[in-house]
Amino acid sequence: MAFGMQQINAQCFASFSFGSGNAPVVENQPVTLTTCAFVNEYSTVFNAQAGSLYQFAATGSGPVYITITQGTSTGTVLGHGFSPVQVVPTATGNLYMHYHANAACALTSLGCIAGSITLLPSGSACQYDIPADIIVNNDLGQCGANVSFTVGQGTCQDPPMPIPPSGSFFPVGTTEVSVGSGVSFASFNVTVIDAEAPVLNCPADIFVTLNPGECSRIINYTVTATDNCPFTGDLMFHFQDPLLNSGWYGFANNLENLSTDPMMISSIRVRASATPFGFYNFQVYMRLGTYQDPGVLNSPAGWTLVADEDYNVTGAFVTGGGSDVDIIFNEDFVIPPGETAAIYYVVDNGATLNRRIMYNGGVLESNDGNIRIFDGAGTNLGVFTGIQFQPRAAYLGVNYQLGGDAEIVQTSGLPSGSVFPAGITTNCFEVEDVAGNVGECCFDVVVNDFPNPTRVLVCNNHVNISVDQNCEALLNADMILEGGPYSCYDDYELIIETLGGVIVSNPITAPFVGQTLMVTVLDPATGNSCWGNVKVEDKIPPVIVCRDLVLSCNDDLPTEPAPGVFDPADLEQPAPFNNFWTGYAFNLDNEGFAPIQIEGMEVQAALAGSAAGTYNIRIFMRNGTFEGFTNNAAGWVEVGNEDVQISAGFPTISLYEVFFNNPFLIGAGETAGVAVYVNNGNGFGVRVCGELGTAPTTDGILTINNNPARWLVPVGANG
């Protein structure tokens, strides 16, 4: 009996019909189809049932080679071999038994051939002896393992031919090994575990010695990672399966990477037909770009041969026919994110139409959100001879993974390009692969101080210091010392004081602009010191902010043609709000050593029922605190009066600028009260917004002291 289709290398179709019968319905009772058929004839079985196990037998003057087809006499081949042959139909309908003398379809006479069909009990098909599922670790440095196993013949007559065969390279993951025939099928899994950790490549320890006065050094380095498997995600499979109604020597498609990661193509699945059945060569080429690019399909130039291997074909060239062929690539082909690659696959080097790549004569494209298969074309009258048929729809499955560079995580130390201080900094990294294996590495950056610095200190006696845009100057020892060579300038201590002996903090701020200070540089290693004077200056010019001014015909011209002169300093209190009223009051404290002129403010306001429109914001200030004076107009001076457009309704608020037409001067160490209100304090339809209980805000010179009072009408009626 011939059970194992995998090892049979031919099937034979007869030319003439002779003999027929209905499929048996009683088990183990043969039904005669013919008593005297001849070679190159076939007998018909009517109404065979899908899923039933039938045994075909034929006897003649010598062994009879039979082929069983389904649907039509040249339809799908279910089994073939020397009599007897067992098959299981995949659809209910007619079966056909073809008679020949051998696997080469010889027409040698066998005399009268008697043919019969028998319904066998379910479960009576032969059985191969297969091993239990196999689990192994990867081979060192490989993303998989070569795995050997034994499959016994069991009760089957034909020797087993597992696919993939024993000794094959199995990639990391689980691969099904199939062993079967037309009536008996078995399988087991081979699982390869990636047990190998990725390798992190840290540089050797880095040693540097600082120059005189230098305290640190910028250090650059590179850490890389390698692994036996790509740093990629899970293996994914996208498959399109049109109704197959044709085939050609070869086929071409375009594959588009729709993702934002590199895509690694590792294998494809195609449908192929062959006459006779057997092992044939399949080649797969890939290139970036499309196969429609000029001349691409006429030359192998620019293509990469990614697969070149023999595979078993057990399907006939009929509608819906052929058999699946999984073609594994020699190495992954990478499609960058957003790009397209062409793929071209051919069977038997395009030698004959007895071997074909199956497809549909229509148009089809598909995608799974990551990969798009489109623009199919039949090609190849011999390798690389252009497009013969387009468009065509491929039967094509693609195995792919998405991934990219390893994600290297620093667990200690400083990143490359950082400023490394004197001493030892240990830098450690780790990387995790897809299987969860973790690799680690560490190295030291050793920064040595400048050796043998001088202990003699030389100070400049007069240094001009100009403050920065924040009206500050941070003094360092290298600004005062000269000569050397010195150790790290940060190791020296600075003592800053006025000429009257008052200690001054570092950085120097606005109150000391224009003053001469004495700076002492102290070497804590020896106690030695030197000193010099510094003159603090402000060389950054003020910023003049000009604004439009609208006057009535009878208004007096302002004394300042461009009001609003601001020194480059301001104070902002970005507080949220939890309260609102028609006005607020608060204090401004000048904690500096020089007068401060207030030139303008920004006020939070919002509608609270009124329509959008123009509203007036007025600001008053007075010398001394506002507390106790909000119901007394005496001492208050109007400093700002601005009409603004308010369109946002509470709780949405906006900021409105009020430039003072009467700048207010707060003396050094003095306090000024501020009163702000909107719409002349009339009604509640538009409000000034603030937050009760906010802590003071300060920049070290000017302080906003809150706990505001609220009022209903202009200064003089406290709410």
- What pLDDT is recorded for position 608? 79
The secondary structure of 517-570, three-state, reads: EEEEEECCCCCCEEEEEEEEECCCCCEECCCCCCCCCCCCCCCCCCCCEECCCC
Q: Please name which of 604, 472, 582, 482 lies closest in space to residue 532, comparing C-alpha atoms.
A: 482
Give the number of C-alpha atoms closer than 13 A to the C-alpha of residue 551, restricted to the C-beta side: 10
Residue 208 predicted with pLDDT over 80: yes
Note whether 454 and 483 are within 8 A (CB).
yes
Q: How would you label 263-289 residue by residue, b for 16+ Cβ within 10 Å and e otherwise? A: bbbbbbbbbbbbbbbbebebbbbbbee
Fold match between domain 5-120 and domain 458-537: no
- The 10s digit of each residue's pLDDT in 544-588 is 766 666 667 777 776 655 444 444 456 666 656 666 677 888 899
Return the DSSP state at 204. Answer: P
If one looks up domain 458-537 in CATH, what number appears?
A: 2.60.40
Q: Please name which of 258, 223, 231 lies closest in space to residue 332, comparing C-alpha atoms.
A: 231
| Ranges of each domain in the chain | 5-120, 134-193, 199-230+406-448, 236-402, 458-537, 565-710
Q: Which is it for the CA torsion 197, 201, 205, 210, positive or negative?
A: negative
pTM higher than the cut 0.95: no
If one looks up domain 236-402 in CATH, what number appears?
A: 2.60.120.820
Q: Name the pLDDT band for 118 (thresholds 50, 70, 90).
A: very high
Number of Cβ within 10 Å of residue 715's Cβ equals 25
Q: How would you label 155-189 residue by residue, b for 16+ Cβ within 10 Å and e otherwise? A: ebebebbbebeeebebbbbebebebbbbbbebebe
What are phi and psi for residue 479, nearest 5 degrees? -75, -25
**If you search the block for the tokens 């797969």, which residue do you land on?**
284
Number of Cβ within 10 Å of residue 326's Cβ equals 15
Q: Selecting from 2.60.40, 1.10.3210, 3.40.50, 1.10.101, what CATH number does the domain 199-230+406-448 have?
A: 2.60.40
Number of Cβ within 10 Å of residue 393's Cβ equals 23
Residue 270 predicted with pLDDT over 90: yes
d(CA 657, CA 649): 18
What are phi and psi for residue 626, nearest 5 degrees? -75, -25
- What pLDDT is recorded for position 382? 60
d(CA 613, CA 378): 72
Mean pLDDT, rounded, of the chain: 85
The answer to which of 55-69, 497-511, 520-534, 687-701 has the lowest mean pLDDT is 687-701
If one looks up domain 5-120 in CATH, what number appears?
A: 2.60.120
Q: What is the mean pLDDT of residues 173-191?
A: 75
- The C-alpha angle 192, 195, 198, rounded to 5 degrees, equals 125
The answer to which of 78-92, 172-186, 445-459 has the lowest mean pLDDT is 172-186
Q: Please name which of 353, 358, 277 lies closest in space to residue 315, comparing C-alpha atoms.
A: 277
Cross-strand bridge partners of residue 268: 327, 398
Q: Give the list of residues 6+ apart from residue 39 with CB closer than 8 angstroms, or none.
A: 14, 99, 100, 101, 106, 107, 108, 109, 110, 113
The answer to which of 124-128, 141-145, 421-425, 698-702 has the lowest mean pLDDT is 124-128
- What pLDDT is recorded for position 184? 63
- What pLDDT is recorded for position 556? 72
The domain over range 565-710 is classified in CATH as 2.60.120? yes
Share of the chain above pLDDT 70, in %: 88
In the numeric block, which tokens belong to residue 621?
């200030």
- The 10s digit of each residue's pLDDT in 398-444 is 999 887 678 899 999 999 999 999 999 999 999 998 888 999 999 99
